[in-house]
Amino acid sequence: MNIKELDTPSLVIDQEIMIANIQRMQDYAEKYQVHLRSHTKTHKMPVLAKLQEKAGANGITVAKVGEAEVMAENGLNDIFVANQIVGESKLNRIKKLAETIHISFGVDSIEQCEMIEKVFTKQQPAQVLIEIEVGENRSGVIDESDYVRLVNYIKNSPFINLKGVFSHDGHTYKAKDLEECRRLYNEAQKRTLHFAHLAHEQGVELETVSIGSTPPLLHDFGVMEGITELRAGTYILMDVSQANALGSYSSCAASVLTTVISKPTNERIITDVGAKGLTMQSRSEGICATVGIGYIKNSNHVHIDQVFDEHAIIYDEPFRNNVIIGDKVEIIPNHICPVSNLYDNAYLVSGDDVVDEIPILCRGKLQ
């Protein structure tokens, strides 16, 4: 099948670009002799997770227990849930998974650990990593005193095993230039390593010191001694945001194929994908800043100006004059991760040929 024969909207992935992206990040990890634990929330496809492991990844990262369950059902057996797992229902699901695979998850409070102790046992302790807040202003331990108390609480609990620490330097997306991106990344590494050293001072030796976000790893900023693992995700498919940080759209493997359905004015074009197939996300500042709500692939700076539920609106007179109703164009999304969650399947393409249809089995697994 030719790509233009696909019905629209469809999520398509360029096979050669994706494989090159996988190998590039694997090579980066191997250069600095650290593990790569790819974050699969970007694509939500066990097939792609297996490709990442085949290339050398030492396991995968997921965001939710439901994603871990699907990945485990499909043969992935070393999984880290990079999130705080709270509530007996979810913890019992983690415990069940631990019977057949290696699974760990994030913590950042004693209150959460008290919940864990109600579910796990001495014979089957929970495997956890403490999240360190490094500047994103999201979850994670901030104060050293809170961290030391948490480390000692876990150290004295027979029901929990502390494997390591992890952080996410997502604030690097907003860096004003690459030098600031480097500075923020290095500060995040140093802070993560500092907290790892604090655990050592409490008599706890950590197996894993994990960091990760895609923008700094697109550039050779290096990996500091003591870091053991990278947890990048978006690198496999890329998007407008990440491409802007890189300075090129050539590594964007994913796009949404859409059909021109209306040209109601001399400059307005309508296509058949809207917020339900593209998302309305954008980034307003920094090296990942975006224009509009998606970029028309291989165009002369043509972007989606507006979306409704089922319509994308473009205002560009030259582009309008170069397409006819029925033409199919590709949109590179601003942020690929939520887009993957909007489709049942993705189509793998090589050139103009569709070579495979891949089910997005973790779609909707938000619990």
Which CATH number belongs to the domain containing residue 78 in this structure?
A: 3.20.20.10
pLDDT in tens, 63-110: 999 999 999 999 999 999 999 999 999 999 999 999 999 999 999 999
Residue 278 is given by DSSP the state H
Task: Identify whether residues 231 and 245 lie together within a single domain.
Answer: no
Q: Is 354 helix (H, G, I), strand (E, B) or coil?
A: strand
**Residue 364, in any domain of the structure:** no
Task: Identify whether residues 277 and 353 lie together within a single domain.
Answer: yes
The domain boundary, picked from 210, 236, 262, lies at 236
**Residue 140, in any domain of the structure:** yes
Pairing of strands 102-107, 126-131: parallel
Domain holding 312, by residue range, is 3-10+241-359
Q: How high is the pLDDT of residue 304? A: 98
Task: Identify whether residues 194 and 247 lie together within a single domain.
Answer: no
Mean pLDDT of 338-351: 98
List, in order, residues 6 or more apart from 95 with CB less than 8 Å away.
119, 120, 124, 126
CATH number of 350's domain: 2.40.37.20
Q: How far apart are the first and last CA of the chain?
A: 36
Give me the helices (H) in 289-347, please: 317-322, 336-340
In whole angstroms, what is the distance from residue 139 CA to residue 192 CA? 14
Q: How high is the pLDDT of residue 175? A: 97
Q: How high is the pLDDT of residue 106? A: 98
Task: Identify whether residues 225 and 315 lie together within a single domain.
Answer: no
List, in order, residues 6 or more apart from 26 with CB less than 8 Å away.
36, 52, 55, 56, 57
Q: How high is the pLDDT of residue 158? A: 97
Average the pLDDT over each of 228-232, 279-283, 319-323 and give the range with the smallest value: 279-283
Mean pLDDT of 202-216: 96
Percent of the chain at pLDDT > 90 equals 100
Pairing of strands 295-296, 328-332: antiparallel
Please state, rounded to an integer, the average pLDDT across all residues of the chain: 97
The domain boundary, picked from 236, 255, 280, lies at 236
Local confidence band at 213 (pLDDT 50, 70, 90 cut-offs): very high
pLDDT in tens, 134-155: 999 999 999 999 999 999 999 9
**Residue 367, in any domain of the structure:** no
Residue whose entry in the numeric block shows the structure tokens 């108390």: 149
Structure tokens that stand for 193 in this block: 């390593």
Assess contact for 334 and 290: CB atoms under 8 A. Answer: yes
Q: How high is the pLDDT of residue 205? A: 96
pLDDT in tens, 292-334: 999 999 999 999 999 999 999 999 999 999 999 999 999 999 9
Assess contact for 269 and 320: CB atoms under 8 A. Answer: yes
The domain boundary, picked from 203, 220, 236, lies at 236
State the amino acid at position 265 in one-letter form.
Answer: T
Q: How high is the pLDDT of residue 87? A: 96
Would the CA dihedral through 270, 275, 276, 279 be positive or negative? positive
pLDDT in tens, 265-279: 999 999 999 999 999
Which residues, listed in sequence order, are joined to residue 37 by a DSSP beta bridge?
none
Cis peptide bond prior to 9, omega within 30° of 0: yes
pLDDT in tens, 22-66: 999 999 999 999 999 999 999 999 999 999 999 999 999 999 999
